[in-house]
Structure 1
């Protein structure tokens, strides 16, 4: 009967463990910003202006109040527009469906 390791990668040697940890951390945004300098993502000359600014800025910490202010602006300005567009899409889909049912394809 085989034993189950306590955590993934528990039964591998140190060399494999470092590659496993690198693989596990490579998908997180914090790892991308903190661990890898901009030169690993490509030449700075090849980056567009927004990517260059983000690479130079590094990690930026936000306060809870700033997070709430951004969420409030999203809820106030973007969410109603998204709901309106979704409603118009549903109206269009329903009208095309009724036209197909009543054989008004032209």
Structure 2
């Protein structure tokens, strides 16, 4: 039997298939969660102690932070310029070898 034979229409004079079995009755609707037992008299949820208030942070030295940021910026830019110069020299050497 080929895969398509299953889906073909029955022959003209073929008998009708038997009726299908009756479907099962519809399930009962959801009635909600079951009731829970109440807690014992006098019960309270556990409490947590309040933590101490946060301490005061030390004051920041804004001038020192600015000086350190400026020094870091100068160092970063200097390293970038140096790396760019090295790459440029290597590129010139490489291109010079290809041309000559």
Bucket of the pairwise TM-score, normalised by the shorter protein:
0.3 to 0.5
What TM-score do the two structures reach when normalised by structure 2? 0.34
